[in-house]
């Protein structure tokens, strides 16, 4: 069984995914890292050289590949992955996958992301918390339709990574 983690950037997909994989003795795979390895370029370089349409096509191609060939793997998606090219339908149609939305409040996302915005090209240019809040609010609103289709939803606010992992083990196993 594969477990597919989704949610907005900063919700904890990577940290939770790595820890969950360790606890379940499963493999861990980050779709963005997988894409970078396959394309031999960073996500930023792909966007600059090829554009978003190319990136989204490759993202879907590699998601299909992973879902078809992986077993017992925790898969962290990019924040936008479920929202493009029928990717959410791909995940839901896969009998060997359970999907989980790591749901994080707007205020919590702003607090987490403002501290590390320099590491995140999508928001690096945003200078104050109110502008960041507006940016995130718009994205979460647009993406929530897809995120809310996940098989399970776990709220991450005020929880440690370990607490989220323990909650996931209860709902998934």
Residue 153 is given by DSSP the state E
C-alpha–C-alpha distance, residues 122 and 132, integer Å: 11
Burial class (CB in 10 A: 0-12, 13-18, 19+), 152: middle
Q: Is 32 annotated as ligand-binding?
A: yes
Q: Is 56 annotated as ligand-binding?
A: yes
Q: Is 18 annotated as ligand-binding?
A: no
Q: Is 153 annotated as ligand-binding?
A: no
Q: Is 120 annotated as ligand-binding?
A: yes
Q: Is 83 annotated as ligand-binding?
A: no
Q: Is 80 annotated as ligand-binding?
A: no
Query: Which distant-in-sequence residues (6+ apart) come within 8 Å of 103 by Cβ?
Result: 7, 11, 147, 153, 154, 155, 156
What is the SS3 string spanning 49-91?
Answer: HCCHHHHHHHHHHHHHHHHHHCCCEEEECCCCHHHCCCHHHHH
Q: Is 143 annotated as ligand-binding?
A: yes
Q: Is 14 annotated as ligand-binding?
A: yes
Binding-site annotation: residue ranges for ATP:
10-15, 120
Binding-site annotation: residue ranges:
10-15, 32, 56, 79, 120, 143
Binding-site annotation: residue ranges for Mg(2+):
14
Binding-site annotation: residue ranges for substrate:
32, 56, 79, 143
């Amino acid at each position: 069984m594969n477990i597919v983690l989704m949610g907005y950037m900063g919700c904890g997909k990577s940290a939770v995914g790595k820890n969950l994989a360790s606890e379940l003795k499963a493999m861990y795979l980050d779709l963005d890292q997988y894409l970078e390895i396959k394309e031999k370029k960073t996500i930023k370089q792909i966007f600059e050289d090829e554009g978003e349409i190319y990136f989204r096509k490759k993202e879907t191609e590699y998601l299909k590949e992973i879902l078809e060939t992986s077993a017992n793997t925790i898969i962290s998606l990019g924040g936008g992955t479920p929202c493009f090219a029928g990717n959410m339908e791909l995940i839901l149609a896969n009998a060997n996958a359970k999907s989980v939305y790591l749901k994080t409040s707007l205020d919590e996302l702003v607090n987490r992301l403002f501290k590390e915005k320099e590491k995140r090209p999508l928001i690096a240019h945003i200078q104050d918390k109110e502008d960041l809040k507006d940016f995130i609010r718009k994205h979460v609103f647009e993406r929530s339709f897809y995120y809310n289709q996940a098989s399970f939803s776990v709220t991450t606010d005020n929880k440690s990574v370990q607490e989220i992992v323990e909650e996931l083990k209860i709902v998934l196993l």
